[in-house]
Amino acid sequence: MKKIVTMAMLAASALVFTSCGDPTFDASNEVESIKAIGESLDGDAEKAKEFGFAYAKLKLQGKVKEMDGKTADEIIEMAK
């Protein structure tokens, strides 16, 4: 019983820590990262457009690895 409770607590804490804050870009899984960032920007069409242009610009420059772990705002700033 103690083992089950401990595992449940670990799973719950992992969920809490992974879902905090804005989603970040994962260079090893670009498509899913872009979807997650797009969903977080769903209410802000202007920022979603800025992110799309910034991502495209940096992708064309070959800077995918530099975007790894960055939020939408950080990627937009990188592209300026």
Task: Give the pLDDT confidence of 13-44 residue by residue, as tens digits.
Answer: 444 445 567 899 999 999 999 999 989 988 88
Instruction: Look up tokens 């990627």; give the residue.
Output: 75
Provide the CA 59 distance to its chain's centre, in angstroms. 16
Instruction: Look up tokens 């800025």; give the residue.
Output: 50
Q: How far is CA 27 from CA 4, 9, 33, 44, 78, in A?
A: 35, 30, 8, 24, 15
Q: How far is CA 38 from CA 3, 6, 77, in A?
A: 39, 35, 17
* pTM summary value: 0.71
* Radius of gyration of the CA atoms of the chain, in A: 16
Task: Give the pLDDT confidence of 44-77 residue by residue, as tens digits.
Answer: 899 999 999 999 999 999 999 999 999 999 999 9
